[in-house]
Structure 1
Amino acid sequence: MTRAPRTTDDVQRTGRRFLAVSAAGALNTANARKPFGRRGRVGTFTFFPGWLTSELPLHVIGWQALATAGFVKRGALRSKEGWLGLGLSAASWYALREVWKTSMQAGEVFDHALEEGLGDELDEGESPMAPHPEVELTRRRLVQGPLHNWRKGYVSGPSLSYGDAGRRNQLDIWKRPDLPLDAGAPVLLQVHGGGWVIGNKDQQAMPLMAHLADRGWVCVSINYRLSPRATWPDHIVDVKRAIAWVKANIADHGGDPDFVCITGGSAGGHLSSLAALSANEPEFQPGFEEADTSVRAAVPFYGVYDWTNRDGTGLASMEGMLARVVLKSKLADDRDRWEQASTMSWVGPDAPPFFVVHGTNDGLVPVEQARSFVAMLRAESKQPVAYAELPGAQHAFEVFDSPRTIYSSGAVHRFLEAVRVREGHTADTADTAEATR
């Protein structure tokens, strides 16, 4: 059957549709390069498409090219609008190439951050176990992106309970199946983000935990109570309770209770950094005041470090949400409690080593707040403070595999191993490896 010739109206309609699709793609690319409304409410809505595009630019080029081929096949280039659409698509692809090149700078940024923060102590540590070759940087990982299943191979048992809040007080243990139960492996506790209202232990930092677990670490990913059902300080109380559980029980799973570090992103960045700075604080440990909740190091990603916006680096829109949903009180009426919840209020000389990571394009938590927090730490802390500010990175950039994710996992590992050496907690690598054969 012969297809009827396309009319002039059909061609023009196809060209206009192609132009509209190309314009939308170009706007999305522009938002990925420089987020629209980064310091206002608009940034909340432009975050999601900008996040995906900035971490998966080659994937976006691929689907845009497929869409372009489809429109060309339907005769879009027989109209002026179609040629304009093709020009916009070509410009978008060039810009996406630049987005990719920017993401590949992350390795150098992390190297500089670690050298500045650790100096001669960098790279003195050694992993307890050699990694499996399949978890190294590969094209397959980058193609799979968010589709990679990291839990498989590291989380084999059921979720464990660390408190009495049901599912919200559960945790998962990540480790290699061949890790000896008496390995005394270093431990990293992961606190998920989600604005203190959503999220769970199965969603975030999986590439990082897999990276460390494959090198002989034990990682613990926790749930905690969420607002609006939970009211501050329930969230940090749960994090402290989880730390106490880890110190009391992790030896049964091959971990070293005397070397526990903490990490988290966004709200988890806030909670992990606050937990690190408020070690053994009784007001955050009701009913378990005597438990040791100190940690050896903290690695917060794109965290919220101040709820009071004391230096103007926060988002004004966040105050209303915190007042209505999380603290359930206004800043003006309850300032002491808001200060108690702010990580910046706890900065002092006893802070553990910190490695702070943030992206310049963060549309949910301004990078300026990370800069202020790092400046406070460096002025007060007696321990190393490393800071990596990633050009072009959005909020939650390391949730799935991308160049920044892979580089960040390696950098965190190097930082934590250097801290182990610094504090004399290195294991006998040869004995550990021999025990796994």
Structure 2
Amino acid sequence: MKQLLFFVLLLLFSCNTDDGVTASTENSEGENTTGAPTVQANATYTVSVTENIEYARGLSHTSINSAETTSVPLYLDAYTPVDAGPNRPILMLIHGGGFIGGSKQGVMASLAQYFAERGWVVFSIAYRLQADLGTIPQEWEAYGDLVDAEFLDQFFAIYPAHRDAKAAMRWIVANAASYDINLDYITVGGGSAGAITAIGISVSEDGDYTTEISSTLDETLNTTNLGESYEVKTILDFWGSDISVFALEEIYGFQRFDANSPALFIAHGTEDPTVLFEEALKLRDIYEANQAPYVFYELTGLGHSAWNATVEGKRLEALALDYMVEQQSLLLE
């Protein structure tokens, strides 16, 4: 099993870039006030964008788990549909980049705009990357002795990235009232490393990627809304893998996939040289074995970061919208 993890790491980090319907109740104005949110099939709303909202802080070390640290701010951008009314569904986006680079702008900003124009409140997050040398648990540091030295720093970067993404989601929960969002309709998505993180924070339990380190060792945990919890309903996986869930199994013996895993949207190029297509097949098989809901789009002949792909004339974001509507029983206009 450990050899498999190293093999997946090699594949992942060989390239470091990645650009049942619920009835609604209406008030006298005809607005949906309870039940499933209403979203739009086409761009409808003007979008208000607020950038660089600090959602938490995290430690940056001078070397792996060194005593010398700096507390760094962690930011997200919020995309809010103007005059869409209350009861909004949530989408949190996580950028790719091999846990080395990437940005909450660029492709993530375009996706955020697309879904916010159709009624979602969207949050695009930044998180600590390899160069930040975030704190890792002792168990991860010990397991690192088995990882190829060439990929060790990237392997260690998985933990703080997931810790931060979970903190971002807890911040969203803590601030739900400010954004008129409905916490029963949460989607998390991303591309490549972002998809890996989306899967990892959605399938794992509340304490995973959080409580392995105490606030005594990392006081910035106290900025991460530890009292909040969340339940993801749908995952958007664009060319990702299960590596971070598999790491929990390897290091702690945890089995996190089951029949209650969030509905999974998979899109993956058959010729992807970075995160091999076999990783998508593995995820499909895991969901099949657990009888959990999923949809799988093989992007025939396409490689990594195939954001412009179409399937039967529909772009990936439109397919993802359809899947969220179906799985969450959203009301589509």
- What band does the TM-score fall into relative to the shorter chain? 0.5 to 0.7
Distance 2:173 2:286 in 1: 29
| Deviation for aligned residue 1:282 | 4.7
Q: Deviations over 1:297-340 (max 9, x none)?
A: 111110132379x9xxxxxxxxxxxxxxxxxxxxxxxxx76825
| Deviation for aligned residue 1:211 | 2.3
- 1:341 and 1:369, CA in 2 relative to 1: closer, same or farther beyond 3 A? farther
Which residue number corresponds to residue 305 of structure 2?
Answer: 396
Secondary structure of the equivalent of 1:299?
strand
Q: Contact 1:298/1:353 (CA < 8 Å) preserved in 2? A: yes
- 1:358 and 1:130, CA in 2 relative to 1: closer, same or farther beyond 3 A? closer
Which residue number corresponds to residue 250 of structure 2?
Answer: 339
Task: Kindly indicate whether residue 129 of structure 2 is the aligned counterpart of residue 226 of structure 1.
Answer: yes
AA at the equivalent of 2:112: M
Secondary structure of the equivalent of 1:417?
helix
Where do residues 156-171 of structure 1 align in structure 2 (5 Å cutoff)? 156-165=49-58, 169-171=74-76
Secondary structure of the equivalent of 1:379?
helix
Distance 1:128 1:384 in 2: 22
Which residue number corresponds to residue 238 of structure 2?
Answer: 301
Q: Contact 1:168/1:225 (CA < 8 Å) preserved in 2? A: no
Which residue number corresponds to residue 291 of structure 1?
Answer: 228
Q: Contact 2:309/2:316 (CA < 8 Å) preserved in 1? A: no
| Deviation for aligned residue 1:373 | 1.6
Distance 1:193 1:293 in 2: 23
Secondary structure of the equivalent of 1:276?
helix
- 1:128 and 1:337, CA in 2 relative to 1: closer, same or farther beyond 3 A? closer
AA at the equivalent of 1:132: A
Q: Contact 1:191/1:271 (CA < 8 Å) preserved in 2? A: yes
- Select which of 184, 189, 195 maps to 1:258: 184
Distance 1:218 1:258 in 2: 13
TM-score (norm 1): 0.53
Which residue number corresponds to residue 328 of structure 2?
Answer: 420
- Select which of 210, 214, 222 maps to 2:117: 214
Q: Contact 2:249/2:255 (CA < 8 Å) preserved in 1? A: no
Q: Contact 1:129/1:215 (CA < 8 Å) preserved in 2? A: yes
AA at the equivalent of 1:393: L
- Select which of 155, 161, 169 maps to 1:235: 161
Secondary structure of the equivalent of 1:356?
strand
Distance 1:305 1:296 in 2: 17
Distance 2:251 2:233 in 1: 22
Distance 1:395 1:271 in 2: 17
- 1:375 and 1:131, CA in 2 relative to 1: closer, same or farther beyond 3 A? same
Distance 2:57 2:241 in 1: 27
Count how many residue pairs are aligned between Structure 1 and Structure 2: 263
Distance 1:298 1:209 in 2: 15
- 1:126 and 1:280, CA in 2 relative to 1: closer, same or farther beyond 3 A? closer
Which residue number corresponds to residue 103 of structure 2?
Answer: 200
Normalized per residue, the structure richer in strand is 2
Task: Kindly indicate whether residue 83 of structure 2 is the aligned counterpart of residue 178 of structure 1.
Answer: yes
- Name stretches of at least 5 consecutive residues in structure 2 with no aligned partner: 1-9, 22-35, 59-70, 137-155, 214-220
Distance 2:49 2:228 in 1: 28
Q: Contact 2:174/2:228 (CA < 8 Å) preserved in 1? A: no
Q: Contact 1:263/1:299 (CA < 8 Å) preserved in 2? A: yes
AA at the equivalent of 1:304: S
- 1:306 and 1:299, CA in 2 relative to 1: closer, same or farther beyond 3 A? same
Which residue number corresponds to residue 139 of structure 2?
Answer: none
| Deviation for aligned residue 1:131 | 2.8
AA at the equivalent of 1:411: L
| Deviation for aligned residue 1:363 | 1.3
Task: Please tell me whether Structure 1 or Structure 2 has the larger radius of gyration of its CA atoms.
Answer: 1
AA at the equivalent of 2:295: A
CA RMSD of aligned residues (A): 3.6
| Deviation for aligned residue 1:244 | 0.6
Q: Contact 1:270/1:305 (CA < 8 Å) preserved in 2? A: yes
AA at the equivalent of 1:238: D
Percent of counterpart pairs with the same letter?
A: 22
Which residue number corresponds to residue 62 of structure 1?
Answer: none
Q: Contact 1:359/1:394 (CA < 8 Å) preserved in 2? A: yes
Distance 2:90 2:115 in 1: 9
